[in-house]
Amino acid sequence: MGNYGITHRLNVLFGLPYIKTKASAGNMAGQKGLQDLSLMLKWVAYQKHIARGDLKTFLIAGYTTPLSNYNEDFLPLSIGLHSKNATMRLMADYQRNHWFATASYTYIARSNVTIDRSTYYTTEMHYSNEVKCRMHRNGI
């Protein structure tokens, strides 16, 4: 993970994790390798001194993409899900002395993933090798 400050209010964040998994028992082999490249921009959208504390809001936008051809259909031993992701996050942070509160809202759009089998089961049987990913939202 790295960080480069372009200006006082704008940073570029990047990550390129090397992951290694192994089974603690049994005969399954783990995986190892580069996972997904992530690039993000973090912008301080607003900052103000309020009630003897500091309020800051951040807007974070990012993109991740797989860098190696790892097997995504080997959970929990796979090193990733092999999907491309676009992320938008809004964060608000208030700090006063040693006390702080942070709230965030995140939206993640994921690409579909093609697996090496013709069917898979979630809560029902799917007769396809394409796993459809849904949009994810979460807050606070």
* Residues of the chain under the 50 pLDDT cut: none
Domain that holds residue 51: 2-19+29-139
For residue 134, being part of any structural domain is answered with: yes
Whole-number Å distance between alpha carbons of 18 and 65: 14
For residue 84, being part of any structural domain is answered with: yes
For residue 103, being part of any structural domain is answered with: yes
Cβ pair 68, 35 in contact under 8 A: yes
For residue 24, being part of any structural domain is answered with: no
How many distinct structural domains can be found in the chain? 1
Residues in the chain: 140
pLDDT digits (tens, 9 = 90+) for 20-40: 998 888 888 888 989 999 999
- Look at residue 57 in the predicted model and tell me its pLDDT: 98
Measure Cα distances from 12 to 6, 45, 54, 104 in Å: 7, 15, 23, 19
For residue 128, being part of any structural domain is answered with: yes
- Look at residue 26 in the predicted model and tell me its pLDDT: 81
For residue 60, being part of any structural domain is answered with: yes
- Cβ-based neighbours of 105, under 8 Å, separated by 6 or more: 89, 90, 137, 138, 139, 140
- Global pTM? 0.77
Name the β-bridge partners of 93.
56, 102
For residue 66, being part of any structural domain is answered with: yes
